[in-house]
Structure 1
Amino acid sequence: MSRGHAVKVLHHRAIAPRREPISRLRGRLSQVRQNLRSGGLSTAVRWMPIDDRVVMTTVDEFQPKSLPSADVTIATYWTTAQVLPDLRPDHGAPVHLIQSYETWAGPEDTVHDVLRLPVPKIAVSRHLVDVLTDLGVSQDSITHVPNGLDLDLFRVRTDPAGRAPVIALLAHPSPVKGLDTAVDVLNRVRSAFPTVAAVAFGTQARAAELPDWVDYVRSPTPEVLVDDIYNRGSVFLCTSRHEGWGFPATEAMACGSVLVSTRNGGVDDFARDGESALLADVDDPAALADAVLRVLRDDALRARLREGGLAAVAALDWSESTDRLENALLTAAGLGTSPC
């Protein structure tokens, strides 16, 4: 918005089953109240600030008839990308922003077909660029735009060297996030290191499988996430089976936590085993627990990995990433490129 572009974000309206008319009605009334507020749906998004000038609204279905006119129409998920070939001329240039290899969310053949659609693609990681090229997508249609961080927000606020042994992690119920592996790792580490603590966060209610000794914060604000989770942790644990990128990992690293992660693809852009993180194979809780214990027990190793992590994420410049995204969209729309 600050660069002079008008932005409208469309969300799919979840319709309650017919057997739950009261819940559906309540949902509709809640949506009306949200749309009447200043900023519309942006007031419902608590995990990141939304510019008041961004128009956020809902549609019952993602079909051309439901979409507004634009210079560029961007799909951010495989189900919404299916409509891109059918856009009208007044919808502008179609662009598929690919943030994950979403076979975990749909039939693999169908997801592959969507990824192969003849529309310009923006991939947020080198790993996703490789996924696309392996599927036969022409490199000429792919633009790599790595994610950036707001390093004014995600930064060291407490001395990492003085932090207690605390493991921070995202606890998400989706199988792709590997919560079952994370719980196994936590229990193994706790057995070998009884004074260790842990703090997990997520957008949903506390998962029943989380051990009682693990603190849980639901839907933390950015400030709480930075101050009470990332800057509390000495280790950030990521057990995902696949990631397109991995924002929590980079955010935690920027706050001085040492990353211990699976080799999930998405971390490849910023995590180098033994340099900026410790990595283990997917679904290997013994190796992940061993890595966590090494970091907790070895002050020199922890300090070296922490500094390596800070250096790695320092290169993830928010403004540079925005420049590259803007240029990719202007190019797709045939409007030239930004002078930035």
Structure 2
Amino acid sequence: MKICFVLPRYTRRPIGGYKIVYEYANRLCNSGNKVYLLFLNDNVFLEYKVPRILKSVCSNIMTQIEPRWFPLNKSISKISGLYNAKKILQDVDVCIATGAETVAVCKKAFPLASKCYLIQGFETWVLSEKELFETFNAGFKNIVVSSWLEKLVDAHSDEKSILIKNPIDLTVYRPIVPLQKRNKHSIGLLYHSGKHKGLKYSIAALGKLKELYPDLEVYMFGTSEPKEEVPGLVKFVKDASQKETVELYNKVSVFMCSAINEGYGLTAMEAMACGAAVASSDYEGIHEYGINGVNCLLSPLRDVNAMVTNVSKLFEDDDLRYLISDQGVSSLKEYDWEVAFKKFKNAICG
């Protein structure tokens, strides 16, 4: 089969949602399918006042170079922009929209293909709620990654969605350094400036924790350098590779997440798989794999003091920290890539 994933743009930096798409693309390619990645690239280089043709050339070059942060199968064809995709549009069997802004393009550009929509979040930062609801009912086969998204999408679609929870590679994301050998007062977190990630609440919590624990060590990674002062920051890794994130997860005793709106939350899941005790805000996506008091500690959204309390509990109570860590690792064994891929392949090809 010829299968085309349609993405908003190429990206030089690691993004969780793209990682899932690339993994599915690799597995479909390895299964004997011809796979295309079409990057629309309409919104790249907008900050530069250069001729459109030059932007197009540069976009095409970058599309072929990236992603350097993910081992994409070399047999996968990468295409920049609809113009360069015209030759393949007519005989693609399945096209898969991967973002809210890609749905309309798929509907118009792939008239003969079977259409699917991989929904990994409620992208209110891309479209209005009304426009998002319209994408859910565009006539595509909706594939959602979380139970809360399933309910939301089904409420605004004539067809029931297919739930396939995001897995992770547990042969990669695993405990390497025993928790007992990690600095007790160490915290890892993702630096992301999107308001839905709730970073300002994490930084506020770190300020209070630094006062309580002067030896606090903070390790962060992200796609851009921190603009704010981060209390206790020891190391920041920009555009961290998979290997670097695994090393960071294995260095900290606690992983903090203050997200407000997130479809899933892969970073906290990866950290949990690596043995870090997770202290997270009680956002919707965390419930796809996190159980409060069992494999993580949850605090109300935007509640800095509650987050500080939970992290302090993990710092002060060794038995609790070890228990949350151990149960976190064991609870993720059911999130297997082989199972998820089989479901995904049946969904798009059925």
Assess same fold via TM > 0.5: yes
5+ residue gaps in structure 1? 332-340
Q: Structure 2: how far apart are the matches of 1:18 and 1:46? A: 23
- Distance (Å, rounded) in 1 between the aligned partners of 2:75 and 2:87: 24
How far, CA to CA, are the matches of 1:157 and 1:148 in structure 2?
20
Going from structure 1 to structure 2, the CA distance change for 1:175 and 1:153 (only over 3 Å counts) comes to same
Partners of 1:154 and 1:233 lie apart in 2 by 14
In structure 1, the partner of 2:216 is 196
Q: Which residue number in structure 2 is paired with residue 334 of structure 1? A: none
Over the aligned positions, Cα root-mean-square deviation in angstroms equals 2.5
Name the structure 2 match of 1:137.
157
SS at match of 2:124: helix
For residues 68 and 226 of structure 1, the distance between their equivalents in structure 2, rounded to whole angstroms, comes to 42
1:103 partnered with 2:124 = yes
Matches within 5 A, 1:257-272: 257-272=276-291
Work out the number of aligned pairs and report it.
320
- How far is the alpha carbon of 1:109 from its aligned partner? 1.5
| TM-score normalised to structure 1 length | 0.87
Structure 1 residues 32 and 119: alpha-carbon distance in aligned structure 2, compared to 1, 3 A threshold: closer
Residues 90-114 of structure 1: CA distance to partner in whole angstroms, max 9, x if unpaired? 3x11111000011133212111221
* Structure-1 residue corresponding to 2:37: 9
Task: Give the drift of 1:48.
Answer: 2.4
Distance of 2:117 and 2:238 partners within structure 1? 31
- Any residues of structure 2 matched to 1:1-340 within 5 Å, and which? 1-13=29-41, 14-17=43-46, 20-21=49-50, 25=54, 30-34=58-62, 40-41=64-65, 44-59=66-81, 67=89, 69-90=91-112, 92-133=113-154, 135-138=155-158, 140-164=159-183, 165-211=185-231, 213-227=233-247, 229-331=248-350
Closer, same or farther: CA 84–10 of 1 in aligned 2, 3 Å: closer
Residues 146 and 321, structure 1, Cα contact 8 Å, conserved in 2 = yes
Could you tell me how far 1:86 is from its partner in structure 2? 3.2
Once the two structures are TM-superposed, the CA of residue 199 in structure 1 deviates from its matched residue by 0.7
Q: 1:241-269 CA deviation, whole Å, 9 max, x = no partner?
A: 11111111111111101111111111111
Q: Distance in 2 between matches of 1:24 and 1:17?
A: 13
Q: Residue 20 and residue 104 in structure 1: after superposition, are their counterparts in 2 closer, same or farther (change >3 A)?
A: closer
Give the Cα–Cα distance (whole angstroms) in 2 for the partners of residues 29 and 61 of structure 1. Answer: 12
Structure 2, unpaired ranges of 5+: 1-28
Amino acid at match of 1:54: I
Post-superposition Cα deviations, 1:100-136, rounded to whole Å, max 9, x if no partner, equal: 0111332121112212322210001112112113x33
**Cα deviations across residues 32-85 of structure 1 (Å, max 9, x unaligned)?**
5446xxxx24xx223322111111221068998994631110001111112344
8 Å contact 2:38–2:85 — kept in the other structure?
no
